């Protein structure tokens, strides 16, 4: 088990977004999403990054998105790439969970790893795995990866739903160098 240092826990209740700033001091950051529950049904949980301390969240990125899914009814299951959830040199928010249900017991969970955001030499790689109770009463096991295509330091990150507010616990960790 790696020596992760808990940096902060943000407990959102009806929040429009959750931001973390000052992404310095660690080569790898990890964000854990616990019980992400949207106010609006069938919306996306997504993130973007900033190079100006959170004034703007619009970093150019190229990403991949694939997932496994299975309905409670057993009517549908499979594994596939989702072209509608990837980004090619776009500045928009990257989807981490698709079509999150807002039933009282529904939520999404997962983790995002961000590598060396303070670099002023390289692009910034990331990957994520999330598990989502999706609006069609199904499980989605989503795998997202890509890079923030900038050599500027990335110093803030923002998480939100594509529409409406959210309840969630989001934790930020830094990997202690050993």
Positions that interact with other proteins (CB under 8 A): 1-8, 10-25, 32, 34-35, 37, 54, 68-74, 77-79, 104-109, 111, 129, 131, 133, 138-141, 143, 165, 169, 171-174, 176
Q: Which is nearer to other proteins, 1 or 83 (CB)?
A: 1
What is the smallest separation between the CB atom of 41 and other proteins, expressed in angstroms?
A: 15
d(CA 11, CA 77): 33
- Pick 68 or 88: Cβ nearer other proteins: 68
Residue 38 to residue 156: CA distance in whole angstroms: 22
Q: What string of H, E and C letters represents the secondary structure of 23-54?
A: CCCCCEEEEEEEEEEECCCCEEEEEEEECCCC
Min dist CB 68 to other proteins, Å, is 4
Choose between 119 and 167: whose C-beta lies nearer to other proteins. Answer: 167
Min dist. Cβ of residue 89 to other proteins (A): 27
Q: In angstroms, what is the minimal distance from the CB of 171 to other proteins?
A: 7
CB of 110 to other proteins, least distance (A): 8
For residue 109, count other CB atoms closer than 10 A to its CB. 17
Assign 84 to helix, strand or coil.
helix
Neighbouring C-beta atoms of residue 120, cutoff 10 Å: 8
Three-class SS state of 85: helix
Smaller CB separation from other proteins, 27 or 149: 27
Residue closer to other proteins, measured from CB, 89 or 164 = 164
CA distance readout (Å), 160 to 17, 176, 177: 4, 27, 30
């Amino acid at each position: 088990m790696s020596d992760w240092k808990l940096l902060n826990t943000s407990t959102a209740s009806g929040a429009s977004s959750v931001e973390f700033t000052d992404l310095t001091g660690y080569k790898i950051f990890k964000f854990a999403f616990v019980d992400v529950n949207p106010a609006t049904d069938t919306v996306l949980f997504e993130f973007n990054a900033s190079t100006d301390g959170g004034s703007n969240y619009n970093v150019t990125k190229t990403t991949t998105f694939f997932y496994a899914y299975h309905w409670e009814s057993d009517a549908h299951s499979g594994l596939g790439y989702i072209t509608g959830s990837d980004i090619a040199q776009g500045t928009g928010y990257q989807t981490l969970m698709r079509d999150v249900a807002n039933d009282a017991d529904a939520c999404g969970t997962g983790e995002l790893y961000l590598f060396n955001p303070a670099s002023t030499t390289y692009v910034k790689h990331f990957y994520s795995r999330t598990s989502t109770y999706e609006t069609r009463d199904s499980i989605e096991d989503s795998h997202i990866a890509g890079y923030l295509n900038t050599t500027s330091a990335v110093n803030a990150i923002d998480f939100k739903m594509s529409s409406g507010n959210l309840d969630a616990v989001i934790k930020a960790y830094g990997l202690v160098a050993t």
